[in-house]
Amino acid sequence: MKPSGPLNGMSGMRLFAYLTLACVLCPLAASAAPVVPEDLFKLTFLSNAALSPDGHLVLVEASRMNGPKDTYDRSIELVDVATGHLTHNITKHLGDGDYAWMPNSRSFVFVRSAPKQKPQLYRYTLAGGAITQLTHIADGVAAPVVDHAGDRIALTVTQTDPSPKAQVDFARAGFTPKAAQKKSDIAVIDSLFFETNGQGYTYRQHQHIWTVDVAGGHATQLTSGKYSENFDDWSPDDRSIMFDSLRYDSVDGGPSDVYTMASTGGPLQKVASPLPANNGFFFAADGRRVYFLSGDIKDAAARPALVAANLDGSDRRVVVERNAVGWGDTLLGDMKEGGGLCGWRMPGGRLALLNMDGPGYANLRTVDLTSGEFRDVTPARGEAWSCSISSDGSRVAYLYSDFMHPADVYAAATNGGAPRRVTDVNAAYLAGVTLSQPKEFSVKDPAGFTVQAWFMPATGGAPGAKHPTLLDIHGGPETQFGDTFFHEFQLYASEGYNIVFCNPAGSTGHGYAFEEALESNYGDAMFADVQAVMDAVVRRPDVDATRLAVLGGSYGGYATLWVISHTDRYKVAVAERAVSNVRTENLTADFAARNGLGGGAYNWGPPWDPASADYARFSPLTYVGGVHTPLLILHADNDTRAPIDQTLQEYTALKILGRTVEYVAVPNEDHDLSRTGSPIHRVERLNLILAWLRKYL
């Protein structure tokens, strides 16, 4: 089976006892060095852990920064679960990835990209290390999923509409065009969702499902047309497949339907649902029913239900109610881009294993597909994601990170017992640097909610002194901070700053009511929570209350602009990829739709309607006259999630007002600069922020 795609999540409310703010640093070697921006070049980033069916080996993708090439070297690593032995770059080719085990655990298939060649499917045989190319599909392949028998492999193939002819009569123009001039590079767009952050214009691209046999032959295209499909699962007998697709034009973001069809091709059968947002999970053990997540699109805080139904959608049964739990991993960090949801039906069909959100953590749990009851497989701490199980369901391998450790491969028995770390890929780096251990505390906000927060004491600067303190506000807003490694925070601690981070109203992991509290109070609910957190922090003896800063990116950038327009408490601010005007954001972002930011027209009315006063009410730009804090505002030129006009509006207004502001424009990067941007730009970004903080703090 293939894990479902990334989904946001929320969790039932868990109240925290008020914890003391006293912090004790971990014992550190005297020779330990401070964390610096350039340390990113020393780190190994892991993703996509795939356990072999026999449970003995794990494939994992390792990514390391290549400074001279200003790119990432990505390779497939093979890990022995019993010994932890890691074979680096098992396929001896950088850029390989996107892999899946064959059922006998003796080989795996993977996707290889080569210069001037579309990505194709290859097979690696463990005995002898032979590599065989399997496909020669013109448009290239991605996302292989092997069937249960090991006879066929499902693939996704993205086909691109041909470029139109140039609208020029070259005979009249009096010259013979070059080949490239005969085709137009002008975009003629008639669809609402025509671009995607990091990918540019995508309206001409259509992702379809193909199958090939185990030798790469009999390539068969199963789906076609203007709409795309996302593969979900093979049926237990391999006669059917399940996939998601939106097969109509929508003015809302997020709707999707679940379909099944014969794995040899034929008509599509829609799994009818009364709700518009449906994402396939897996087939039932008998193949006669399907499990999927089903929810609405109007409420940004809502979380889908887990539903079982017949293939046509009849006999629908809710296993887990809507808004009851947070599916997947929504913790934010700077070592990866989202953890997403991993989910697998376990042998026998009674249980499924998946990762889920809790307050400030994400762990692995089983869910009883009859009763909807959950049981922890891993402890309620840290961040667990990218999970896969052995064919007998006894073992799970996954990636795990916590405050003091970047991601490593872990293994656990699904029936209980302590998880075991299998790799330690950043051990040498961690042994040589001074790290700060965050300490959790909580406060009550004016609405009566418990707000989870952490204080991360400075490791640099004068011992025993009062330190300047940074408040960092997370993006989303339907995400959360939590127990995972954050290089940037460790960097600030080494520079002599205390760091405070928290999960204000709107954060996931703390229950539906807490998340929904932001929707009708988009700025003030967050502001009340972060101010309550800082009210507690400034009482600490190691905090200089006269030297506070506020920072954030995406919604955190919005929040930073909101905070400094409503208080002069902070002496300096850094806002990245910020939103300043929610009216224009809801009409220009790549997700622009009727149900855009904050529920869009469903909650705030049409953005173009003067009577829709909430857009002005919830826009930091409305209050820009109140900004007196020196502001560094940073934006990537290719950001379409928060288009660059959002920064330009705030920056221009502040310059007209004569306020202290600098604008950093980063070329050739998108909304995810801090996580996946080019190595040089990622390090430059950190040094620019540090220089700004030093100047004013």
How far is it, in rounded angstroms, from Cα 681 to Cα 71? Answer: 10
In CATH, the number for domain 548-581+619-697 is 3.40.50.1820
Across residues 276-294, what is the average pLDDT?
Answer: 97
For residue range 435-455, list pLDDT tens digits in order.
999 999 999 999 999 999 999
CB 422 within 8 A of CB 79: yes
Cα torsion for 218, 104, 289, 389, to the nearest 10°? -130
For residue range 464-494, list pLDDT tens digits in order.
899 999 999 999 999 999 999 999 999 999 9
pLDDT confidence bin for 114, thresholds 50/70/90: confident
A 10 A CB-CB count for 250 gives: 16
pLDDT of residue 100: 98
Q: What percent of the chain has pLDDT over 70?
A: 96
Tell how far CA 91 is from the center of its chain: 27
How far is it, in rounded angstroms, from Cα 550 to Cα 556? Answer: 10
Q: Which of 186, 213, 192 is nearest to 121 (CA)?
A: 213
Q: Where are the beta strands (DSSP E) in 204-360?
A: 205-213, 220-221, 229-234, 240-245, 257-262, 269-271, 277-283, 289-295, 305-310, 317-320, 343-345, 351-358
For residue range 128-156, list pLDDT tens digits in order.
999 999 999 999 999 999 999 999 999 99
Across residues 58-74, what is the average pLDDT?
Answer: 97
Across residues 503-522, what is the average pLDDT?
Answer: 95
β-pairing verdict for 195-196 and 152-160: unpaired
For residue range 315-356, list pLDDT tens digits in order.
999 999 999 999 999 999 999 877 899 999 999 999 999 999
Task: Tell me: pLDDT of 279 over 80.
Answer: yes
Q: Which of 146, 138, 94, 101 is nearest to 120 (CA)?
A: 138
What does the block give as tokens for 392?
């007998």
Q: What is the pTM of this model?
A: 0.93
Q: What is the mean pLDDT of the chain?
A: 94
Q: What is the DSSP code string of 422-447? A: ---TTHHHHHTB-----EEEEEE-TT
What does the block give as tokens for 473?
């506000």
pLDDT of residue 416: 84
Counted residue by residue, the chain has a size of: 697
Task: Tell me: pLDDT of 5 over 80.
Answer: no
pLDDT of residue 31: 65
pLDDT of residue 115: 86
Task: Tell me: pLDDT of 3 over 70.
Answer: no
CB 142 within 8 A of CB 135: no
CB 343 within 8 A of CB 291: no
Domain segments of the chain: what residues?
A: 548-581+619-697
Query: How many Cα atoms occupy the beta-carbon half-sphere of 285 within 13 Å?
Result: 10
pLDDT of residue 510: 97
Helices 679-696 and 487-494 pack at an angle, to 10 degrees, of 40
Which residue type, as a one-letter code, is found at position 299? Answer: D
Task: Tell me: pLDDT of 263 over 70.
Answer: yes
Task: Tell me: pLDDT of 60 over 50.
Answer: yes
Across residues 643-659, what is the average pLDDT?
Answer: 98
Task: Tell me: pLDDT of 181 over 50.
Answer: yes
φ, ψ for residue 144, nearest 5 deg:
-70, 140
What does the block give as tokens for 325?
């739990």
φ, ψ for residue 409, nearest 5 deg:
-80, 130
Tell how far CA 391 is from the center of its chain: 27
β-pairing verdict for 229-234 and 240-245: antiparallel
For residue range 7-31, list pLDDT tens digits in order.
333 333 222 232 222 333 343 334 6
Q: Which of 449, 574, 462, 454 is nearest to 515 (CA)?
A: 449
Which of the pair, 516 or 25, is modelled with greater confidence? 516
